[in-house]
A and B are shown apart, each in its own frame.
Chain A
Amino acid sequence: MTATWAGQRARPGTVGTGTIRADAIPKSRGDFAFSSDLYADGMLWGATVRSRYPYARIKSIDFSAAAVMSGVRCVLTHHDVPGRNRFGLEIRDQPVLADDAVRYVGEPVAVVAADHPEIARRAAEAVAVEYERLDALTDPRLALSGVGPDLHDGGNVVAHHRIRKGSAEPAADVVVRGVYHVGTQDQAFLGPESCLAIPALDGGVELYCSTQWLHIDQDQLADVLSLPLDKVRLTLSGVGGAFGGREDLSVQAHACLLALRTGRPIKMVYDREESFFGHVHRHPARLEYEHGASADGCLVYVRARILLDGGAYASTSRAVASNAGCFACGPYEVPNVSVDSYAVYTNNPPCGAMRGFGAVQSCFGYESQMDKLAAELGLDPVEVRLRNAVGTGSAMATGQRIDGPAPVAELLRRVRDMEPPAPADSSTCDDVLMPGGAANTTHGEGVRRGVGYGVSVKNICKSLGYDDYGTARVRLSISGGEPVAEVHTAAAEVGQGLTTVQAQIVRTELGVRQVVVVPADTRVGDAGTSSASRQTWISGGAVRAACEAVRDRVLRIAAATLGAELSELWLADECVRSERTATDVPLAELLGSTNVDETRVFRHRQTFPLDPETGQGDGHVAFAFAAHRAVVDVDTELGLVRVVEIACAEDVGRAMNPPAVEGQMHGGIAQGLGLALMEEVQVVDGYIQNPSFTDYLIPTTLDMPPVRLSILEIPRDDSPYGLTGVGEPALLSCPAAVVAAIRDACGIDITRIPVRPEIIAGCA
């Protein structure tokens, strides 16, 4: 089913056409400036002193040795924070520089500026911090039970969300139970945290940085620096990936503090090890599930208890826990629901946003349960899902009716019906494509193939009553005799292709060929975050609204100039066309030196908080769905897995830039495969064991199998062009499908991701 958008011809570079990114050639030539590439005359390098302990009281900080080192310009501690020494996305609970205590290993305690990064690093090492160690609380179950110290005022439970629907004591013919675990995943964006802060003549600061949301950084920084908002000016520089890991502040406040103190530009760049300590991770989760069903496989109830370890500070834990709860039943009709989702403080590394945002963890739980249920009933795993799949009009666990497209069954059928990959054949298959890869551990002996499925759901846009909006300014002028449209938003291009989509929208709406996307900065109104798969919807909507306003003004100018009725004029081919007189007036002629400049704000429909006791309510703007089929070869003796193929079907509403949509899906699938098989930040007693790409493995070209996509375009009636968000769904049920395939291949129960070889080989 492919929708066509009425009235739109497929001009190059417009909405729906495959459009080459404007930044692709500069990025390929090495000419594109990422935040780590920036340079200013006279700049100094910043470095961070970090806590060595998961929990300790700071008794003293002695930086006298560091301060006198040759080339060191400045050392700052919490005493030097002029404003509020706290930041945070939901609760401002995290110190910019630790004051009384440190609550995780790697927490910033002091910052240094020096002439050379190596001098800065050595000076940071020379800062002597005297700690009084405290007993660390690193077990989230203990934190939930109230045992151990309160790490923050108000106790260690950051969030508890309840969902209660239907009967409390429903009767079911079949009951399956399971306890599942999801490890800590890292976003592992390739571009390290970095920025350049330049002190300004007016006492403010110009900050060039990588972030997902300029205005929320600005808001927090203004409070930290004790400056009015207009003196904290941010410009987005090239962002080397984000995936949720750039929602929280990292280098920004430190660089600004150093710049304002030294009066010199400050560059900060983390190396990979520091990056593992410098941003939040995906919450590790423990999920207890009980599913009850009728004998014919229809779900009667779901009970779930989900515990997320939020680590030392709140970040987005409340919203992640809410999402984990809201989507704990998956895309299924469940009449009776009892879900409790919690996030707690511990002395582990802070956790927050990562692609999928709570829905990934739940999905591994509920999809594992659906397979268990199918096995219990002797049903095909796809069949049991089809019998319970939601559709338009169905109620989610929160009671919210799905009023948009919900083609869950169709997506599942699509991946099921794809041609299966050819069977493993060691005589024709390159050994690097066998389990174990280049290690050459098998020529096919002990290798079994398995197939697994997963389906998933997640909210698109911000939820629960949040007043979410985006702002765009569009300016049409004549330059060199040609119309040029300039589009300006604060929306963060993090790699997803947003700047290209903005230009496509302008070309579509104004019919002009030349579009300039101005760098995102805080001179224009808030765009909200490049998260929650919302930015094309929200900032795209704002760009379209601004274009409509520009078009309206142009046509009014034309009507007055030509003495025509407004209703008989329209814009096409860089002309104003009159229907009645069949004449074209070129925009260049009509506008001359007149600029048409309009700014508009776009909001999605209102949502509402959920009832605190029952979790019922219209909390979400939209739901997006995906289905996966994974085919794996498993070396059952060594426990090694080769993913042979992943198929994914997703409804995208409208593919604004089809290759970019495919790219989002490919990338999401890769991160899902990583979570299923190899990616885990291993934390022992609060210490990260593997902060490097040597020890934290992300999928390589040899790990990724061929991927097959099926993209549906069922237009929504409440979004620009009918689109829905595409950033997250392709990740959600990928881990569940991979694990289901491994279970299918070797017949063992697997309850934890990433799956370790010793579990498969049965020697754990």
Chain B
Amino acid sequence: MRLSCTVNGQRRDIDVCPAESLLFALRERMGLPGTKNACEQGECGSCTVYLDGVAVCACLIAAGQAEGGDVVTVEGLADDEGPHPVQQAFAESGAVQCGFCTPGLIVAVHDVLSHSPRPTDAAIREALAGNLCRCTGYEKIFDAVRSAAVRMSAEGKRR
């Protein structure tokens, strides 16, 4: 079947099988493997993307559900000036180890900070509870969120 949608600002028209997830379509049919496949059942958050402005697990979305939709993946967050402040904060805070959870967390943190520019520590913990990380124990991820919040408010950036 045919799928037409916008991904990272570009119109895409591709063929997908009916059973394929949005995650599979992004990774294997659109050449966007940045969104990760760690559990494929919505538990780990590694495949978090925006669909029509809402952060979702791409593994739980059938590709066909994105028909006519607007998808933004981790590959779509940086701009011509460089990495997004959230990406920069993750790198500089030591929040990246193996990096497999990182793309999903980047999108999730981006989403958190777009709704809540200066979240409390408890709010950060609650907001990221759906994103598993096996390497970092989350400490430096929290550092990165706090750092990104400061950077984004300094830059007047919400998205």
Chain A residues with CB under 8 Å of chain B are 18, 20-21, 23-25, 27-34, 36-37, 39, 116, 118, 187-192, 238-243, 269, 271-272, 430, 432-433, 438, 494-497, 659-660, 662-663, 666-671, 692-694, 698-702, 704, 706-707
Contacts and interface: CB of A to CB of B under 8 A. Distances in A.
A417 B67 CA distance: 59
B134 A241 contact: yes
B33 to A, nearest CB: 4
A512 B101 CA distance: 33
Interface in B44-96: 44, 46, 73-75, 77-78, 83, 86-88, 90-92, 94, 96
A240 B38 CA distance: 9
A560 to B, nearest CB: 44
Contacts of A37: 27, 33
B132 A495 contact: no
B14 to A, nearest CB: 14
Contact of B137 (A187, A659, A670): A670
Interface of B: 17, 19-20, 27-28, 31-41, 43-44, 46, 73-75, 77-78, 83, 86-88, 90-92, 94, 96-103, 106, 122, 124-126, 128-142
Nearest to A696: B43
Contacts of A118: 17, 19-20
A36 B47 CA distance: 13
Contacts of A692: 39, 41, 43
A20 B37 CA distance: 26
Contacts of A243: 134
Counting chain B CB atoms within 10 Å of each CB, the highest count among A430, A698, A700 belongs to A700
B97 A663 contact: yes
A20 B74 contact: no
Given A25-B88, A28-B86, A670-B136, 5 more contacts: A27-B99, A191-B98, A659-B94, A693-B44, A701-B138
B138 A25 contact: no
Given A240-B98, A701-B131, A30 B122 contact: no
Given A23-B96, A29-B75, A667-B135, A693 B41 contact: yes
A190 B100 CA distance: 6
A430 B139 CA distance: 19
A240 B102 CA distance: 10
6 contacts: A25-B91, A30-B103, A37-B33, A118-B17, A118-B20, A701-B124
A704 B132 contact: no
A275 to B, nearest CB: 9
- Secondary structure call for the A interface: loop
Given A20-B91, A29-B83, A272-B41, A701 B125 contact: yes
Nearest to A194: B37
B96 A190 contact: no
Contact of A28 (B36, B90, B124): B90
Which applies to chain B's interface (DSSP): helix, strand, loop or mixed?
Answer: loop
Given A189-B134, A662-B140, A663-B136, A432 B126 contact: yes
Contacts of B83: 25, 28-29
Most chain B beta-carbon contacts within 10 A, residue among A116, A190, A668: A190
A29 B98 contact: no
Contacts of A430: 122
A34 B100 contact: yes
Contacts of A272: 38-41
Contacts of B86: 28
A666 B96 contact: no
Contact of A701 (B92, B103, B128): B128
A147 to B, nearest CB: 38
B133 A190 contact: yes
B34 A31 contact: yes
B38 A190 contact: yes
A496 B99 CA distance: 10
Contact of B87 (A23, A29, A496, A699): A29
A561 to B, nearest CB: 41
A23 B99 contact: yes
B102 to A, nearest CB: 5
Contacts of A668: 137
Given A27-B102, A698-B134, A190 B46 contact: yes
Contacts of B137: 663, 666-670, 699, 704, 707
Contacts of B90: 24, 28
B135 A241 contact: yes
B94 A660 contact: yes
By Cβ-Cβ distance, the 4 closest A-B pairs, closest first, are A30-B34, A495-B98, A27-B99, A666-B137
B43 A190 contact: no
Nearest to B94: A659
Given A272-B39, A667-B137, A495 B74 contact: no
A188 B91 CA distance: 23
Nearest to A494: B98
A312 B155 CA distance: 57
Contact of A666 (B43, B44, B99, B136): B136
Contact of B134 (A239, A271, A667): A667
